Amino acid sequence: MADNYIGFYFRFVERYRDEVELESLDFWGEFLEEYNAYLGGIFEDVARQFLIKLNKAGRLPFRFTKVGRWWRKGEEIDIVALNERERRALLVEIKWKDLSMRKARGVLKDLERKGELIGLEGWEKSYGLVARKVKGKERLGENGFLAWDLSDFVELRP
């Protein structure tokens, strides 16, 4: 469903209506597990919108003119943003998790590996990460990576 509100209603409210009305807590663990997985997909959409706003505000290494996702043979990159005229690419992984510095670096190193598979030889590539929380994200920036978390979303509110 394209409408997040309707999708949430039928996936959670309608499905667990009896349990909620009966104030039964037996479903709670199942609900939380499924809800967290659901939020991961929603977060990907929100992160994409966030990057588009950053792009419009000129707060990325370059202005992209195309954005999408890439996958092949079990490999996937959540966001690939391109400026074909300048031959520049921004590759971004999105994680609905709290990441330590070590885990964030691991995600970014794997992203660099996947970046070699997409066939953009001769292009300048930037690598980024959007997560629920990234500890030490400033230090990732010192190493040439881009990193954002929910605290950064507040800055771009309308």
Tokens of 95: 């994680």
What residues have CB less than 8 Å from 9, skipping those under 6 apart? none
Q: What is the C-alpha separation between 79 and 91, in angstroms, rounded?
A: 6
pLDDT in tens, 105-118: 999 999 999 999 99
Mean pLDDT in residue range 87-115 = 96
Domains of the chain: total: 1
CATH number of the domain enclosing 102: 3.40.1350
pLDDT in tens, 27-76: 667 777 788 788 888 899 999 999 999 999 999 999 999 999 999 989 99
Q: What is the C-alpha separation between 27 and 47, in angstroms, rounded?
A: 30
Mean pLDDT score of the chain, rounded to an integer?
88
Q: What is the C-alpha separation between 112 and 139, in angstroms, rounded?
A: 17
**Residue 117 structural domain:** 4-156
pTM for the model? 0.83
